[in-house]
Amino acid sequence: MNTFELHAEYPGFTLDATASWDGDATALFGASGSGKSTILEALAGLRPAVRGPIELRGRRLDGLPARRRAIGWVPQDASLFPRMTARENVDFAARLHGDRNAAERAIEVLELATLLDRSAAALSGGERQRIAIARALASRPDFLLLDEPLASIDRPLRARIVPFLARIPAELGVPLLLVTHDPLEVAALTRHVIVVEKGRCVAAGAPAAIFAAPAAFGAFELGAENSFAVNVGGRSPGLLDVVTPHGCVLRVADVPGFPLPARVAIRATAIVVATRRPEEVLVENVLAGTVRSVAIEGEQLALRVEAAGETWIVRTARRAAEPAALAPGREAWLLIRAADLVPSG
Amino acid sequence: MSVGEALDVTLLTLKVGATATAAIALPAVATGYLLSRWRSPLRPLVQTVVSLPMVLPPVAVGLVLLLLFARSAPLGRAVEACFGAPLLLTWWAAALASAVMSFPLFVMGAMQGFDAVPPRLEQVAASLGASRARVLLSITLPHAARGVACGAVAAFARALGEFGATALVAGRIRGETETLSLAIYDRIEQFKSADAVAFAALSLALALLTIGAVELLRRK
């Protein structure tokens, strides 16, 4: 069991966060400035001003200095030691604990062998993140804390890194606590989510339960309004066919090494809507449907569309379409890229 | 002025500068580190005290050293008891005066070097299990090295040119305490303009070399 009750007063911000959870892959989820990184740093022992009990894997950590907490902390910018090579970064942690095995295992699982002799300064964003994670794992941590590990990485590279992260708890036996403001990362990597808002933990549960309620998305300023349980129906090179409970067939990216998805999610803003049947469009999923409701939300149109047996929430720029063309009852086609559908186990 | 004399004065100047810089290296780096990391209301006060030799007249600093290390003063007696000879009017006294005058420059360079080390790197190292000493030696110092080196070279350059405090505590004894700046003053007093200009040219060459070294370090 893992618990914390953290309290701190900063100018203009109060942290008053309490949570308890079990399991090996958990997300601290919330908007920027909500306090999730502060919580993570407090757990790592890097925020002396934060008070309160902390217990991870049954071990009491509050009162211990950072170096005695056995926490692998990976900041958002990876913070590799720039004057060292990738190998020296990993070895720095391994030497402190006198155990090369943990380092070698992390290098193997994260597939880093070819990067080790390169200077830390010469690595790409994704490579830096993987080296930083390997370095943290080489310290033989009881817990791995990842602060926005995918935030600075572009989408195709994310698809490469997600499987590496997903393998850590099972293959290395180190539980993850992941900070993110991206519901898709939560869905892809974790089985439990703690929602942080204005310095407080306001909700917790399985990602599917938390993100299934549209009201929750409004409350938490989230983005992935569309999330469906799925069964895998078939496989073609690079793609999986999955089927929702109401029979909607979707083609999603088949990422090597990633388990078959039980859910897929997509942001409302990632769906393109067409008012005429699109032809010769190179998109994996084109769903015909009917507009059920339209609402103007500032500069956006919020649509509810029934297509292929499911109800979809779509947000599009107001200037991109006349509200009349998308009036309730009008035909609409939804264009969804396979890469934008994020699978989760 | 003979070549031998010029060489002797130049070598003594370099010896005084190097000794002064080496003597203050550890305390200057430690003070720079503390001033960079110490978050206390007393910090500006400490910084002011450290900077005093830069704003005080060098002769005033020399006078303080003279009073402290005179044979009748407790500190002077202690030094004499330890080393069997008084400190004043020796090249060691010249090195002491140069060290005191150079100290603030070394501290400032080191402080800037430590300020430039991202705190995140130190936090990561601590989270990996490194002790404070290990973090300092393995992460902080190597990343602050350029600033520390700049401070060292600036202090060395200042020591090479030190005059006021040095003249007071070391005197102007040819072949024993006469550094380049003292030699220039001495030859002017004796109306040996050509010798004074020659010593000044040597000072200029040394100054150019040290400034060049600072620039190289900054650009590296």
What is the b/e burial string over B77-110, where b = at least 16 CB atoms within 10 angstroms of the residue's CB?
Answer: eebeeeeeebbbebbbbbbbbbbbbbbbbbbbbb
- Tell me the one-letter amino acid at B124: V
The answer to whether the beta carbons of residues B182 and B172 sit under 8 Å apart is yes
pLDDT reported for residue A259: 65
Question: Is residue A113 domain-shared with residue A214, that is, in the same domain?
Answer: yes
Which helix H or strand E contains A192, and what residues bound it? strand A192-197
Query: Are A87 and A18 part of one and the same domain?
Result: yes
Find the CB nearest B126 among A67, A82, A83.
A67
Q: Does B141 touch chain A (CB under 8 A)?
A: no
Identify the domain containing residue A32 by its residue range. Answer: 2-226
Q: Do A92 and B138 touch (CB under 8 A)?
A: yes
Query: Which chain B residues contact residue A92 at CB under 8 A?
Result: 125, 128, 130, 138
Nearest to A66 among B120, B126, B143 (CB): B126
Same domain, A14 and A149: yes
Structure tokens given for B203: 């000072």
Give B118→chain A minimum CA distance, Å.
9
Residue B107's pLDDT band (boundaries 50, 70, 90)? Answer: very high
Q: Is the pLDDT of residue A321 over 80?
A: no
Among the candidates A211, A226, A241, a domain finishes at A226
pLDDT at A338 over 90: no
Q: B134: which chain A residues are within 8 Å (Cβ-Cβ)? A: 96
Residues A218 and A272 in one domain: no
Cβ–Cβ gap B120/A70 under 8 Å: no
Strand pairing category for A2-10 and A54-56:
antiparallel
pLDDT digits (tens, 9 = 90+) for B173-183: 888 889 999 99
Nearest CA distance, B130 vs chain A (angstrom): 6
Q: What pLDDT is attached to residue A319?
A: 77
Task: Work out how many domains chain A is built from and give that number.
Answer: 2
Contacts with A71 from chain B: Cβ below 8 Å: 127
Task: Give yes or no for B130 touching A (CB within 8 A).
Answer: yes
A50-72, pLDDT tens digit by residue? 999 999 998 999 989 999 999 99
- Among the candidates A187, A205, A226, a domain finishes at A226
| Residue B208 burial (C-beta neighbours within 10 Å; 0-12, 13-18, 19+) | exposed
Whether the Cβ atoms of residue B96 and residue B201 lie closer than 8 Å to each other = no
Say yes or no to pLDDT of A218 above 90. no
Domain parsing of chain B, residue ranges: 3-56+88-219
Nearest chain A residue (CA) to B118: A79
For A139, nearest residue in chain B (alpha carbons): B128
Lowest mean pLDDT among A35-44, A107-116, B23-32, B176-185: A107-116
* Distance to chain B for A83, nearest Cα, Å: 8
In chain A, what residues touch B138 (CB-CB under 8 Å)?
92
With vertex at residue B122, the alpha carbon angle to CA A85 and CA A52, rounded to the nearest 5 degrees, is 135
Mean pLDDT within A188-205: 88
Domain boundary among A195, A226, A257: A226
Q: Tens digit of pLDDT for each residue in B196-208?
A: 999 999 999 998 9
Percent of chain B beyond pLDDT 70?
100
pLDDT band at A228 (very low <50, low <70, confident <90, very high): confident
| A214 plus A320 within the same structural domain | no
User: What are A121-151's pLDDT values in tens digits?
Assistant: 889 888 898 899 999 999 989 999 999 888 7
Cβ(A252)–Cβ(A212) under 8 Å? Answer: no
Amino acid letter, A328: P
ipTM of the complex: 0.73
A73, B124: Cβ pair inside 8 Å?
Answer: yes
What residue in A sits closest to B132 (Cα-Cα)? Answer: A67
Retrieve residue B169's tokens: 């505590």
Please tell me the predicted confidence (pLDDT) of residue B98: 96
Q: Residue A244 belongs to a domain with what CATH number?
A: 2.40.50.100
pTM of the predicted protein model:
0.72
CATH number of the domain that residue A96 is part of: 3.40.50.300
Residue A299 and residue A158 in one domain: no
Same domain membership, residue A51 and residue A164: yes
Does residue A117 sit in the same domain as residue A221? yes
- The pair phi, psi for residue A312, each rounded to 5°, is -115, 140
Of A172-181, A191-200, B13-22, give the range with the top mean pLDDT. B13-22
Interchain contact B136–A (C-beta under 8 A): no
Instruction: Verify whether the Cβ–Cβ distance A69 to B121 is below 8 Å.
Output: no
Give the Cα separation of A202 and A183 in Å (integer).
Answer: 16
Helix axes B58-69, B91-115, angle to 10 degrees: 120
- Lowest-confidence range among A42-51, A187-196, A242-251? A187-196
Pairing of strands A54-56, A25-29: unpaired
The mean of the pLDDT values for chain B is 92
User: What is the Cα gyration radius of chain B?
Assistant: 20
A156 shares its domain with A238? no
φ, ψ dihedrals at B168, nearest 5°: -75, -40
Residues of A in Cβ contact (< 8 Å) with B39: none
Q: Does any CB of chain A come closer than 8 Å to the CB of residue B118?
A: yes
Percent of chain B with pLDDT over 90: 73
pLDDT for the residue numbered B143: 92
d(CA B119, CA B101): 31
Distance, CA of A53 to CA of A55 (rounded, Å): 7
| Interface check B138 vs A, CB under 8 A | yes
Question: A273-308, pLDDT tens digit by residue?
Answer: 998 889 888 899 999 999 999 888 778 888 999 999
Q: Is B142 on the interface with A (CB under 8 A)?
A: yes
Q: Do A88 and A166 lie in a common domain?
A: yes
Contact A286, A268 (CB under 8 A): no
Q: What is the CATH number of domain B3-56+88-219?
A: 1.10.3720.10
Average pLDDT, chain A: 86
Q: Are B148 and B141 in contact (CB under 8 A)?
A: yes
A66 and B127 within 8 Å at the Cβ level: the answer is: yes
A215 plus A67 within the same structural domain: yes
- Pairing state of beta strands A300-307 and A13-21? unpaired
* Tokens 């450290």 sit on residue: B50
Note whether A136 contacts B139, CB cutoff 8 Å. Answer: no
Q: Do A45 and B139 touch (CB under 8 A)?
A: no
Chain A touched by B137 (CB under 8 Å): no
Is the confidence at residue B96, as pLDDT, over 80?
yes
Torsion sign over Cα A268, A269, A275, A279: negative
Q: Do A72 and B127 touch (CB under 8 A)?
A: yes
Confidence label for A341 from pLDDT (cuts 50, 70 and 90): confident
Helix (H) or strand (E) holding B15: helix B3-37
CA closest to B119 among chain A residues:
A79
pLDDT of residue A215: 47
Q: Kindly list the residues from chain A whose CB atom is less than 8 angstroms away from the CB atom of residue B142.
A: 83
Indicate the pLDDT class of residue A219, thresholds 50, 70 and 90.
very low
Is pLDDT of B29 > 50? yes
- Concatenating the DSSP letter of every residue in A72-113 gives EEE-TT----TTSBHHHHHHHHHHHHT-HHHHHHHHHHTT-G
Nearest CA in chain B to A80: B121
Average pLDDT of span B48-71: 93
pLDDT band (50, 70, 90) for residue A344: low
